[in-house]
Homo-oligomer: A and B are copies of this chain.
Amino acid sequence: MQRATEMLRNKGISPSYHRVKILAYLLEKKTHPTVEEIYRNLSKEIPTLSKTTVYNTLKIFIDKDIAKSLVAGKNEIRYDATTREHAHFTCSKCHRIYDVELAGILEEDILSEGHKVEDCQIILKGICKNCLSKGN
């Protein structure tokens, strides 16, 4: 909460109650939530919250580089608070999304063929550790 408020101030976004809550949600839970998930969970605390506000707020966060959107499963937009570089692993059984550390792979390692690379997203798919051990 404190941290979220500060982050917003640093980016020149006025830290309204809703915005702080939404950012805090992204920072605490690291579930790469959809708009629906954010809305459903925060509605418990903020019954008046609307989806429009969640959409508006996430749009601001992305513009100001506080969050990123990612498409992990089939055309489902998910959101992630911008932290350090990492890849995402999507399990095709349980559909959970895991953060995966990169073993020192950065943009420079990829032949960019003259393009100026500003962002790099790596999406892995397969069966997660959990589902494997359950013998699926």
**A interface residue numbers (CB < 8 A to B):** 69, 71, 74-75, 77, 87, 89, 91-92, 98, 100-103, 105, 107, 109-129, 132
Complex CA gap A113/B101 in Å reads: 9
Chain B residues, Cβ within 8 Å of A122: 110, 120-123
Q: How far is the CB of A85 from chain B (nearest CB, A)?
A: 12
Can you list 26 A-B pairs, Cβ within 8 angstroms, ordered by A? A71-B75, A75-B75, A75-B77, A89-B112, A89-B117, A91-B115, A92-B118, A98-B113, A98-B115, A100-B112, A101-B111, A101-B113, A103-B110, A105-B109, A105-B110, A110-B122, A110-B124, A112-B124, A112-B126, A115-B128, A116-B127, A116-B132, A117-B124, A120-B123, A121-B125, A122-B123
A125 contacts B119, C-beta separation under 8 Å: yes
Minimum Cβ distance to chain B for residue A78 (Å) = 11
Q: Is the CB of A123 within 8 A of B126?
A: no
A118 contact set on B, CB distance < 8 A: 92, 125-127
The answer to whether A89 touches B115 (Cβ under 8 A) is yes
A121–chain B nearest beta-carbon distance, Å: 4
Report the bound CA distance from A126 to B115 in whole Å: 7
CA distance A110 to B113 in the complex (A): 22
**Could you tell me the distance between the alpha carbons of A76 and B75 in the complex, rounded to whole angstroms?**
8
